[in-house]
């Protein structure tokens, strides 16, 4: 299949923008038409991204489907996009989750539907742009573009304490990203100075990859990039915005926040922070590994004591994303594969869990676990779905959540068995907080609170089921055949370990 003649990546990225413009032209009272157009636009993006997935050649090294034109010529800034396996995986994850989120917003969002859908579509443009941008300036623009719609989504359609949460989210993210901007400009200048004052290629990712930055610059630049992405992931101790944002965000906002925005952090580390500044990455690795282990344990422990269902899932994200950063900074093949798998799987599973939390919140407008109980008898399908994704999140073998964590674990064991022993305990902790939550919610007698709201406890609606089924199917598929993702991203893994960080590939890939 010849994909080189069509600007496929641009089409995927900007299809939602076209949708947003169309939505803006529709009169406010035609809410159904607004919803239809928004869903249509995300579907176009989804279908095109599946076409990308099919046409992508995983065996070919480097970036494919490159598009390149000058943008801001005096500084050599280009519009340059391209995809490798990691980009493709992230793009498909984004289009899938956004389509599902738009669908899941149909019922809960009744106020200002038009503005909501425009924000959501612009959010998708920003996220997709981040995953395909190969010019650092362009990447930064998309990275910041994500911020504004999310700010509005939490701030306008969020819960009671939404304004505090959304401002906190913005300020945290902005501090990190603006320092990253300084680093981007600093590295560009170093590149320019080394090339006789010519700005050509100074923001071009592929050219910067070939360039070796000196130690001091690497140190500061890595620190800035790391801070920006660590806040996004979020790593302990930069995570405090996450529970607030999640609790206040509307359901679909939480899905995207957990499913895609956190992945931007992991993606940024793999794509930019580590390969551009390999020496500094090596120097920082022990610190990052330490923080990751703390995040894994801390997130799990704090999740254990959360009274609010959504906050529990939010803290479990901190723990699960700790595996991602751990896997990246071990510089070891299985661990890195595991980190990438974990990114995809966490997106699917936690996205689904937030949808499920949204279902019960939609019925009772309450998320306090202590008030729940005995739900299995009233909402059996819901209970089954919740149980399925809960077990996936806990890392039940055969479902996708297991594979990523297991690979990171294997990688950790190869590098440092002591650390591996510590994180084994966390796998038990994860099982504990998830199973305990499930037990309190679904088993036993129907709680007094639920008895009051008995009339509202309707089981899963068809649309809700429709949003969950694709995620469930993918969780099973990737649980049984993780090689599907591993093959896709193997090029990225080899590239990172082979050239940049310089770690030798010690182990064969045993999943294939």
Partner 1 sequence: MAWADIVTVSPIVAAVLVAAAILVVDLIWPSRTGPAAGVSLLGLAAVAGVILVNGQTAATAFGGTYSADALTTFLDLLFVAIVALTILFAPDYLGSRDLPLAEFAAGLVFAMTGAMLIAAATDLLVLFLGLELMVIPGYLLAGFAKRDGLSTEGAIKYFLLGSFSSAILLFGLALTWGMTGSTSMAGVAEHLAAIAAGGAPLSAGLAVGLAFMTAGVAFKVAAVPFHFWTPDAYQGSPTPVTGYLSVGPKVGAFALVLRLFVGALGPIKADWFEVIVVLAAITMTLGNLVALTQSNVKRMLAYSSIAHTGYILVGLAAYAAGRTEGLQAILFYGAAYTFMNLGAFAVVGALQRRPGVTSHLDTFAGLGRREPVLGVLMTLFLLSLTGIPPTAGFFAKANIIIVAVQAGGPTAILAVIAVLNAAAAAFYYLRVVVYMFMREPAGETEQPRHGRLAWTGLWITAGLTILLGLFPGPLLDAANIAARVFG
Distance CA 389, CA 426 (A): 18
Q: Which of 81, 117, 179, 336 binds partner 1 (CB under 8 A)?
A: 179
- The number of beta carbons lying within 10 Å of the beta carbon of residue 354 is 28
Contact 341, 482 (CB under 8 A): yes
User: Does residue 485 interact with partner 1 by CB under 8 A?
Assistant: no
Look at residue 84 and give its three-state secondary structure: coil
* Closest approach of partner 1 to the CB of residue 195, in Å: 14
Residue of 21, 57, 182, 473 interacting with partner 1 (CB under 8 A): 182
Residue 490 CA: distances (Å) to CA of 274, 360, 480: 17, 39, 18
Residue 185 interacting with partner 1 (CB under 8 A): yes
Is 21 a residue that touches partner 1 (CB under 8 A)? no
Name the minimum Å distance from CB 177 to partner 1: 9
| Among 80, 162, 232, 282, contact with partner 1 (rule: CB under 8 A) | 162
Pick the closer one to partner 1 by CB: 17 or 427.
17
Residues 38-97 that bind partner 1 (CB under 8 A): 71-75
Should residue 100 be labelled a site residue for partner 1 when binding is judged by CB under 8 A? no
Tell me the closest approach of the beta carbon of residue 102 to partner 1, in angstroms: 20
Name 107's Cβ contacts closer than 8 Å, sequence gap at least 6: 362, 461, 463
CB of 139 to partner 1, least distance (A): 11
- Comparing CB distances to partner 1, the nearer of 172 and 406 is 172
Residue 194 interacting with partner 1 (CB under 8 A) = no
How far apart are CB 179 and partner 1 at their closest, in Å? Answer: 6
d(CA 447, CA 444): 8
Does 175 participate in binding partner 1 (rule CB under 8 A)? Answer: yes
Nearer to partner 1, 264 or 437 (CB): 264
Nearer to partner 1, 148 or 476 (CB): 148
DSSP labels for 93-122?
HHHHHHHHHHHHHTTT--SSHHHHHHHHHH
Q: Which of 147, 235, 220 is nearest to 184 (CA)?
A: 220
Nearest approach in angstroms of CB 233 to partner 1 is: 19
| Residue 181 touches partner 1, criterion: CB under 8 A | yes
Q: Which is nearer to partner 1, 141 or 283 (CB)?
A: 141
Residue 28 is classified by DSSP as T
Alpha helices (runs of H) in 305-416, residue ranges in sequence order: 309-329, 333-364, 375-378, 380-394, 400-415
| Residue 105 CB-density burial (10 A; 0-12 exposed, 13-18 middle, 19+ buried) | buried
Tokens of 293: 């282990």
Q: Are 45 and 15 in contact (CB under 8 A)?
A: yes
Q: Which of residues 292-311 bind partner 1 (CB under 8 A)?
A: none
Q: Which of 18, 33, 50, 167 binds partner 1 (CB under 8 A)?
A: 167
- Count interface residues toward partner 1 (CB under 8 A): 33
Binder among 36, 66, 147, 476 for partner 1 (CB under 8 A):
147
Per-residue H/E/C for 133-187: ECEHHHHHHHHHHCHHHHHHHHHHHCCCCHHHHHHHHHHHHHHHHHHHHHHHHHH
Q: Given the complex with partner 1, which of 151 and 329 has the nearer CB atom?
A: 151
Q: How far is the CB of 2 from partner 1 (least distance, A)?
A: 31
223 sits near partner 1 (criterion: CB under 8 A):
no
* Contact assessment for residue 16 and residue 122, using Cβ atoms and an 8 Å cutoff: yes
CB of 354 to partner 1, least distance (A): 22
- Contacting residue, 11, 39, 145, 435, with partner 1 by CB under 8 A: 145
Cα 463 from Cα 104, distance rounded (Å): 7
Binding mask 103-122 for partner 1 (x = CB under 8 A): ---------x--x-------
Q: How far is the CB of 74 from partner 1 (least distance, A)?
A: 5
Q: Contact between 186 and partner 1 (CB under 8 A)?
A: yes
Cβ closer to partner 1: 106 or 137? 137
Tell me the window of 142-150, 323-331, 345-353, 434-442 that interacts with partner 1 (CB under 8 A): 142-150
- Rg of the chain, C-alpha, whole Å: 22
Query: Which of helix, strand or coil describes residue 56?
Result: coil
Figure out which of the listed residues 33, 178, 223, 396 binds partner 1, where binding follows CB under 8 A. 178
Q: Which of 31, 102, 170, 378 binds partner 1 (CB under 8 A)?
A: 170
Instruction: Output the smallest distance, CB 150 to partner 1, in A.
Output: 12
Nearer to partner 1 (CB atom), residue 188 or residue 356: 188
Indicate the residue among 218 and 334 with the shorter CB distance to partner 1: 218
Closest to partner 1 by CB, 53 or 145: 145
Which residue is it, tokens 């690979």?
A: 407
| 227: CB partners within 8 A, 6+ apart | 175, 176, 179, 180, 238
Angle between helices 309-329 and 241-248 (to 10 degrees): 140
Helices of type H across 202-259: 205-210, 215-232, 241-248, 251-256
Helix H or strand E segment including 437: helix 417-442
* Binding footprint of partner 1 on the chain (CB under 8 A): 71-75, 112, 115, 137, 140-141, 144-145, 147-148, 151-152, 155-156, 162-163, 167, 170-171, 174-175, 178-179, 181-182, 185-186, 188-189
């Amino acid at each position: 299949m010849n994909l080189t003649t069509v600007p496929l990546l641009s089409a995927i990225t900007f299809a939602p923008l076209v949708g947003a413009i169309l939505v803006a032209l529709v009169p406010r009272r035609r809410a159904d038409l607004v919803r239809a157009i928004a869903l249509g636009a995300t579907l176009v993006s989804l279908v095109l991204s599946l076409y990308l997935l099919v046409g992508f050649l995983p065996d070919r090294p480097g970036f494919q489907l490159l598009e390149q034109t000058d943008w801001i010529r005096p500084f050599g800034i280009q519009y340059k996009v391209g995809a490798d396996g990691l980009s493709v995986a992230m793009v498909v994850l984004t289009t899938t989750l956004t389509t599902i989120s738009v669908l899941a917003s149909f019922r809960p969002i009744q106020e200002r539907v038009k503005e909501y859908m425009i924000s959501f579509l612009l959010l998708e443009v920003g996220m997709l742009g981040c995953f395909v941008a190969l010019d650092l300036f362009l990447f930064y623009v998309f990275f910041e573009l994500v911020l504004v719609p999310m700010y509005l989504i939490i701030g306008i359609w969020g819960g009671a304490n939404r304004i505090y949460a959304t401002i906190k989210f913005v300020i945290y993210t902005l501090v990190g990203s603006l320092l990253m901007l300084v680093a981007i400009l600093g590295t560009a200048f170093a590149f320019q100075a080394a090339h006789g004052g010519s700005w050509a290629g100074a923001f071009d990712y592929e050219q910067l990859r070939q360039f070796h930055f000196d130690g001091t610059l690497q140190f500061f630049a890595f620190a800035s990039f790391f801070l920006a992405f660590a806040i996004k992931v979020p790593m302990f101790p930069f995570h405090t915005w996450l529970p607030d944002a999640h609790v206040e965000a509307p359901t679909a906002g939480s899905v995207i926040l957990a499913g895609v925005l956190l992945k931007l952090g992991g993606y940024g580390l793999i794509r930019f922070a580590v390969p551009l500044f390999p020496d500094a990455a090596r120097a920082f690795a022990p610190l990052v590994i330490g923080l990751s282990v703390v995040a894994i344990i801390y997130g799990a422990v704090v999740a254990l004591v959360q009274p609010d269902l959504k906050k529990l899932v939010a803290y479990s994200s901190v723990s699960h994303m700790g595996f991602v950063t751990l896997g990246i900074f071990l510089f070891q093949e299985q661990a890195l594969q595991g980190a990438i798998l974990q990114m995809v799987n966490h997106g699917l599973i936690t996205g689904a869990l937030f949808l499920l939390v949204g279902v019960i919140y939609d019925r009772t407008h309450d998320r306090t676990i202590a008030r729940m109980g005995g739900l299995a008898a009233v909402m059996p399908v819901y209970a089954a779905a919740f149980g399925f994704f809960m077990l996936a999140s806990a890392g039940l073998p055969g479902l996708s959540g297991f594979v990523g964590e297991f690979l990171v674990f294997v990688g950790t064991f190869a590098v440092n068995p002591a650390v591996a022993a510590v994180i084994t305990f966390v796998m038990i902790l994860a099982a504990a907080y998830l199973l305990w939550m499930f037990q309190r919610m679904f088993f036993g007698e129907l709680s007094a609170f639920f008895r009051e709201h008995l009339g509202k406890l309707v089981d899963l609606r068809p649309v809700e089921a429709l949003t969950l089924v694709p995620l469930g199917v993918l969780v099973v598929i990737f649980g049984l055949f993780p090689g599907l993702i591993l093959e896709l991203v193997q090029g990225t893994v080899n590239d990172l370990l082979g050239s940049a960080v310089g770690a030798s590939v010690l182990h064969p890939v045993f999943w294939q």
